[in-house]
Amino acid sequence: MVEQHGNLYLENLVGRRELKDSLLRLVQTGNNVSLLLQGEEGLGKHTVARALAEILLCRQPCNSYACHKCASCNYFHAQSHPDYVELTLQAGQKQITMEQLRNFTDEQVNLQPLLGSRRVFLLELYAVSPQAQNLLLKTLESGAAGNFYILLANNLTQVLPTVQSRTQIFNLPHLSQEDLQQFTATLPADGRQDAAELKRLAEFSQGNPGFYLQLLHDEAFLRYYNDLQEIFLRALKCSPALLLSEILTELGAYKDKDKQPYLWRIWSFFLYKTSLRRPSCRPVFIAWQKCVARLQANGSFEIQMQAFLPELAKVL
């Protein structure tokens, strides 16, 4: 699978300085390492893992980083490196099968590296069932010399404790707003949004660059955001009696199953931000989260909103 913005080198990765330093130290320690990179979707696990794999395989690293010029780096960029194996979900696939995993673990048993001194394996562990993860234990413990495993997970609840104990765990942090701005500055300008809107997207994505890109390419997002912000502010100022009828009518457009997630996310963001400023809003934020959970479980839109909207009067 090709990254959206071509190859990203570890030295160009925005922010995450501590993570970069720890990963580079790990590269120096040599072989037979199993690494677990955890971080929520959108933070760039694959990008970091592939950038690390390139360094691990490079024949003539330069200041700890890959040279991007040697035969190994060229094969890597061409996605045809013989010592690099990826096991990722295929299009439409929800879980990696036992058979795929068996092929993956068997792949390393007796093979020697062809180009250098290492083989690097990348696995989307979050797509592997706990039962199938058991297949990995032996591999992680007694892999052939020269093997380096990079496992990816969104969080540790997806990883068997026995797998965790056989790996070195690294957290992929969110970007600071400053680093996120630096990241957005590297993107090609498409001229559609103005600076204030881009700032709104950056704030809403809360340091998650993948989420930022998703919002940027979602043409409806800013329209819904502005609309839902107006309704939210009106709802705060309405008397409880007016609230139910008028606001419910205005929110009617978001009853649609495709649009509801915008309402969930955008109002969660507003309530979260408000609760940071006003601790008294915290119970309202929690009530909203419960309301969203019921809507996600197919609760009736009208009933859930009728139950929640009076809570908004408690914010001010």
Question: Which residues, numbered 108-137, are part of the site for Zn ion (CB under 5 A)?
Answer: none
CB of 53 to Zn ion, least distance (A): 12
150 versus 151: smaller Cβ distance to Zn ion:
150
* Residue 172 to residue 18: CA distance in whole angstroms: 10
CA atoms within 13 A on the CB side of 312: 26
Does 96 bind Zn ion (CB under 5 A)? Our answer is no
- Cβ neighbour number for residue 201 with a 10 Å cutoff: 21
CB of 71 to Zn ion, least distance (A): 8
* Measured CA distances, 22 to 54, 161, 169, 179, 316 (Å): 16, 22, 11, 19, 46
Q: Which of these segments, 69-77, 102-110, 122-130, 292-300, binds Zn ion (CB under 5 A)?
A: 69-77
CB of 30 to Zn ion, least distance (A): 18
Among 9, 24, 31, 67, binds Zn ion (CB under 5 A): 67
Question: Which residues, numbered 256-315, are part of the site for Zn ion (CB under 5 A)?
Answer: none
Q: Which of these segments, 59-67, 97-105, 121-129, 201-209, binds Zn ion (CB under 5 A)?
A: 59-67
Angle at 13 between CA 9 and CA 18, to 5 degrees: 120
Q: Starting at the edge strand that comes first in sequence, how are the strands of the sheet with 168-171 ordered?
A: 84-87, 119-124, 147-153, 33-38, 168-171
Does 73 bind Zn ion (CB under 5 A)? Our answer is yes
* Measured CA distances, 58 to 26, 39, 154 (Å): 15, 26, 28
Among 70, 152, 295, 305, binds Zn ion (CB under 5 A): 70
Return residues touching Zn ion (CB under 5 A): 58, 66-67, 70, 73
